[in-house]
Structure 1
Amino acid sequence: MKEVFRRRRSAEVEAVPAVSEDQSATPARTSGPWDAEDGYPEAERVDLGGLRLPIGPGFEVQLSLAGDHIDGALVFVNESALQVHAFAAPKRSGVWDEIRAELSREVEAVGGTVEEREGPFGVELAAKVPTQDQGPQPARYIGIDGPRWFLRAVISGRAAIDDEAAETLENVVRDIVVVRGDEPMAPKDAIHLRLPAEARQAMEEQDQKPKLNPFAPRGPEITETR
């Protein structure tokens, strides 16, 4: 069952000042995705707890569930999709090399093809993944190692093969803020997300109001998929 609501106001996110060199041994990031401790540029973002996700006109956002926890977000726009998940990672080493090898094996195990190539975020995977209804579909697997976190992004649909369409979703990845938190987590454990307070309130109100007109003009939306 899907619960859909329309955002009525911009997400408010306060920028965090950059960490000085004497506060952290980690070099300052010069581009996103950003760590919550970075001095990242302000943008319209929806606060999902572990992620602050940038949004734009025509975007639809779905949150994916793993058991009782929200573990990822999907952004749909113009026949393209972006799926993002954030994970804990070791403090002094990244995990993208290891995860990239695992993803390659998984795609090949289901009859797909995959190759490494250089992308805007470093080495990524260009894959064709089998589907039941439409045959092999292109996908790009992107990984970014951050300070004690790892962000995995998958671009599919038209943006997987069209550079102009891909730019919109690549800019979403560049503007994501990851909120790792200080709690102990094992490497590769998912950083859990949460519904924004506005979303919870809207869903509660929706149960007491007439259904939205499905043919009305639609702005940025969030959908929870169960």
Structure 2
Amino acid sequence: MFRRRRREESPAVKAAVEEAEQVPARESGPWDSEEPYPERERVDLGGMRLPVDAGFEIQLNLAGEQIVGAVVLYDESALQVHAFAAPKRSGIWDEVRAELAEGVKSAGGTAEEREGPFGVELAARIPAESGGDQPVRYIGVDGPRWFLRAVISGRAAQGADSAATLEGVVRDIVVVRGDEPMAPKEAIELRLPPEARQGAEQQGGGRDKPDLNPFGRGPEIAEIR
């Protein structure tokens, strides 16, 4: 009796199957561009698709000539988001969270971990330029080969109704990691939407805003409405 021989899978196919089996299905965002995600109005920033809604004012962060993050201003609150490359098989939020806590304390503030809607987050109070301190929430989400850091300040950091709105923005962000090799913690570069480039050139450097994250934030540029 002859039996049909099972076809041997190549090492590359086996590795891809094993990696897919190790990545659990995601039930909510932030989303990866390669997975199904709910449709809603978003502005395309290249490495990130950012939800927009009525009442939002959106500005972009610069690091030199590179756009690396975005800020959503809403109801006396601010949400700052940055996306970074991360290893395939391990998240970096635990490490980043410890670094942020140490940085806050070194700057004269306080920080403690607590459970939030996205898992463990960092509740901090950092010195304000006007005196006193301001509450800040640091949120981190480990995705497939990327890491998203969100910083909430203002009224929303104190449990106001606007917190749910800004948390909804984080939940509906789509990260576009791309296939190019990147070192862990390297910022995923963003780009200005075509319709906003002309406005950016006319506005120049934009308006100054208070520094909501003292660790590596650049100045804001063009507003996107």
TM-score (norm 2): 0.80
**Counterpart of 2:33?**
36
Q: Which of 45, 48, 58 is 1:48 aligned to?
A: 45
Partners of 1:96 and 1:151 lie apart in 2 by 9
Per-residue deviation, residues 12-37 of structure 1 (Å, max 9, x unmatched): xxxxxxxxx89934222110000001
Q: Which residue of 1 aligns with 2:95?
A: 98
C-alpha distance in structure 2 between counterparts of 1:130 and 1:34, whole Å: 33
> Which residue identity lines up with residue 56 of structure 1 in the other structure?
D
Contact 1:117-1:125 within 8 A present in 2 as well:
yes
Which ranges of structure 2 fall in alignment gaps of 5 or more residues?
1-16, 204-219
CA–CA separation in structure 2 for the residues paired with 1:43 and 1:23: 30
Q: How does the TM-score come out when normalised to structure 1?
A: 0.80
Relative distance call for 1:23 and 1:164 in structure 2 (3 A) is: same
Q: 2:150 aligns with which of 143, 153, 160?
A: 153
Alignment of 1:34-183 (within 5 A): 34-183=31-180
Distance 1:100 1:172 in 2: 21
Structure 1 counterpart of 2:62, which letter?
Answer: L
* Equivalent position to 1:24, from 17, 20, 42: 20
Shift of 1:203: 4.4
Number of equivalent positions: 190
Q: Please give the per-residue CA displacement for 1:167-208, whole angstroms capped at 9, x wherever unaligned.
A: 00000000000000000000000000000011114446x58x
Higher relative contact order (CA 8 A, sep 6+): 1
Is 1:64–1:74's contact at 8 Å kept on the other side of the alignment? yes
Alignment counterpart, residue 222 of structure 2, candidates 212, 221, 224: 224
Q: Percent same amino acid among aligned pairs?
A: 69
Q: Deviations over 1:62-121 (max 9, x none)?
A: 101001100000000000000000000000000000000000000000110010000000
Question: Do 2:200 and 2:221's aligned partners in 1 also have CA atoms closer than 8 Å?
Answer: no
Change in Cα spacing, 1:115 to 1:196, as seen in structure 2 (3 Å) is: same
Higher helix residue share = 2
Aligned-partner Cα distance in 2 for 1:53–1:201 = 20
CA RMSD, aligned part only? 1.9
Deviation, 1:164, is 1.7
CA contact (8 A) 2:47 2:176 kept: yes
Aligned partner of 1:183: which letter?
E
Cα pair 1:88 1:148 within 8 Å, conserved: yes
